[in-house]
Structure 1
Amino acid sequence: MKFEIRDDITLLKFEHRGFEQLDHAVTTRGGGVSHPPFDSLNLSPFTDDEPENIFDNLTKLFQSDHEHIIMMEQCHGANIALINDKFHDKFNDLRNYYPKLSVTPRISSHKIIKGTLIPQTDGLITSAKGFTLIALSADCPLILLYDPVRNVVGLAHSGWKGCFLDIGGNMLGNMTLFLGTVPEDVIAGIGPCIGANSFEIGCELVEKLKKVAGISRKEATERAILIEDRGILRMDLAALISFNLQKMGVRNIETSGLCTVEREDLFFSYRRRKTGLQTGRFAMYAKL
């Protein structure tokens, strides 16, 4: 991924040339207004951060070019929502979805953020223009799928449960079924997430990998999804996502290689802080 600075905000963008025509980025933690431990570009209303800080951060990041945004009430599942032109009628001041967020953003030069919240969903797909799709994370991999031939995009939040349920493959299947995507045309990006060095697991998770995802311990080790070192088991979630997408025919996959736990200077991390409500969230967004 490559770095880009915009209005004091550090963004990361995928480098594959196919992504050049897609408006997308992964945010980092700098450039916002939130105070520690949310310093400073926390984008999640599902934290204990001050509501006005969250919306100041959203307005600073998206401004008028991204005022129609779609967020998810992420639930570590594999549900995918198809976003079409009908959603243009559903946009309201995004703060209306959160009763505690009844404040006026302090950054008066930016427009009120308009959007909608999709409940119990971890993935979004669309071929419609004018929507900014957003997924939030504090360690979980975020997946971007883009079909430049048909101008179709998909975005997903994929924790270990979502990885085992193959939300990436489910999203690709829905893009194929409803929007005509051919897997071989798709370019995939896997964003910064907890790396294998920081994700030690027990044998029970290995059993779940076999039971839920159908991947044996032997195969997972051969594919570098599982790393065994002196009796310690670690899992590479990005490798698991990549493996599942390759099985479906995706040939172009870019992985960031950045660990959110190790890079405290760039990312929020639930594993590092060990508390959800006191941990900020960074975002991946995409807009056709």
Structure 2
Amino acid sequence: MTRSNQFLHYRWVSILKTLCQIGLPAFFLMVQAWAGNTDDFDETLKIGLLPDSAQKILDSRFGPLLHYIEAETGLRVEYKQSKDYLDLLNQFKEKELDAVLFGGYTFILAQQGAGAEPLVLRDNDLHFNTVFLVRPGSIEKRLKDFKGAVISFGSRQSTSGHLMPRYFLDQQSMHPEIFFSKVLYSGSHDKTAYWVRDGIADIGAANSQVIERMLREGELLESDIQILWQTPDYTDYVWAIQPDMETSLRVRLLDAFLSLSPLNPEHEHILESVGAGGYLPAHDADFDLLRNVVHSLRSEIK
């Protein structure tokens, strides 16, 4: 079976797995609990989001999804903001968060430091990439032409804004601290784009989907930036949970994500807001490439 078909039936597979794990009597008690009055919240789900864009953008993108999760699961959803990537990681490690949307690199760090377990990812997260941005009209036409220039990455803990673009530069023998005159870290993808536009950096690496959205919504103009090069695909972004999350809660959350369908008119806006056609079960092996990259760059990304 292809990965693209998994989200259409996996909700039933997850229920059957739960039935095998907890036994028939407990399973029916759990179903009865789900069928109860969801207006009376008896549990709170504390959620965190990777702060890879301005807060107002995160609120706009994920507000519909969080409202849906609350309605679908009967759980009170409490969204806790994070000031940066490290703050998000620390909140998860201190068990202040139950479920988090991580980037690929922050997920690996959360798994290594706190045992984070992958739950779901969007259908397009398996085929992610980074774009290198320059100003329009630049006479430099290739990455190698930017020797001695100023480059900006996003956050140091960003997969698409730092880890993977650094990896692909290294693969072409362009080690950032040696090849460029200065290496900057903007902290977010949108700020990297603005730094390139405003001349603070000559070239910048950013999440391709963020740049596409900024252009589509008018936060960037076609005359502001130009895409010089796009990386090959890699896996990025995953919803992850605490390793000791109760089975019943885990299944309720998984089922809510996998029930989102582009064929359901009520789900269309939710999926459009997060840039997805649906959600798929996430597997640990999806991040093997990133683990290898983290290992190969361990001396550069400390």
Tell me if TM exceeds 0.5.
no
TM-score, length-normalised on structure 1?
0.28
Structure in which a larger fraction of residues adopt helix:
2
Larger radius of gyration: 2
Larger RCO, structures 1/2 (Cα 8 Å, 6+ apart): 2
